[in-house]
Amino acid sequence: MNVSSSVHRLVDLPSNVQTSTLNISFTLASESKQVQVQIKTPDENQNWIVSAKGDAQGIYHLPPLSLGAGIGLPEGSYTMDILYKDGQTLTNTIPVTVSREAVSDAVSYVAETRMLSVRSPLAIVEAYDENMQEIPLSGENGYEIPENAERVLIGFPEEGLFFRLEP
């Protein structure tokens, strides 16, 4: 079994409340295209039980796992149990490292002027209207957010860092 995992952080602006998510995918050679998966935190105080469906190549993706807004994920070895319908269990451990890097200067927003500043030209910045239709934005490090924008998403995928703004 080949397992990959990553931790992403979503920061709501302007409150700066952070939500950490654990994203897991794995390959599995199995007759069953749907399995139940239990993930336990290193201290085993929290766990998730989710259903995962494999694609034609046997790749399974779990939904993002979180402990809730403002609660960080603990570092360490998570336990993943794959539960088959016939009662068999396959266990794997997943090492999880959580970045402690400060992000306060990555993005800033001034509501009075509707100006969004982003520290990197490599960031992905997308704005959406009330129907979730994308609104084109222009700029490299500074963006004037249009009045009809209901949600703005700023992503630094290489860092696993994402911001959400609802102006």
> What's 65's domain CATH number?
2.60.40.2160
* Per-residue b or e along 76-88, where b marks 16 or more CB atoms closer than 10 Å to that residue's CB: eebebebeeeeee
Task: Tell me, yes or no, whether 89 and 114 share the same domain.
Answer: no
Report the number of distinct structural domains present in the chain: 2
Task: Tell me, yes or no, whether 92 and 111 share the same domain.
Answer: no
Burial class (CB in 10 A: 0-12, 13-18, 19+), 145: buried
Task: Tell me, yes or no, whether 143 and 70 share the same domain.
Answer: no
Task: Tell me, yes or no, whether 10 and 86 share the same domain.
Answer: yes
pLDDT at residue number 83: 87
Per-residue confidence at 102, pLDDT binned at 50, 70, 90? low
Q: HSE (CB half, 13 Å, CA atoms) of 103?
A: 21
Q: Tell me the per-residue pLDDT of 37-91, one tens digit each, with 9 for 90 and over.
A: 999 999 999 999 999 988 888 899 999 999 999 888 999 999 999 987 778 889 9
Among residues 35, 65, 96, the one where a domain terminates is 96
Task: Tell me, yes or no, whether 62 and 139 share the same domain.
Answer: no
- Please name the residue that has the structure tokens 């959580």: 98
Give the range with max mean pLDDT: 25-34, 36-45, 93-102: 36-45
pLDDT at residue number 13: 87
Residues above pLDDT 90, as percent of the chain: 59
Domain that holds residue 87: 3-96
Task: Tell me, yes or no, whether 29 and 80 share the same domain.
Answer: yes
Task: Tell me, yes or no, whether 21 and 65 share the same domain.
Answer: yes
Q: Is the pLDDT of residue 94 over 90?
A: yes
Average pLDDT for the chain: 89
pLDDT at residue number 103: 62
Indicate whether 43 belongs to any domain.
yes
pLDDT at residue number 56: 86
Indicate whether 101 belongs to any domain.
no
Mean pLDDT of 118-141: 89
| 8 Å CB contact between 54 and 28 | yes
Task: Tell me, yes or no, whether 22 and 89 share the same domain.
Answer: yes
Among residues 96, 116, 131, the one where a domain terminates is 96
Indicate whether 157 belongs to any domain.
yes
Decide which of 85 and 10 is more confident: 10
- How far is CA 137 from its chain centroid? 23
Phi/psi of residue 159, each to 5°?
Answer: -100, -5
pLDDT at residue number 99: 73
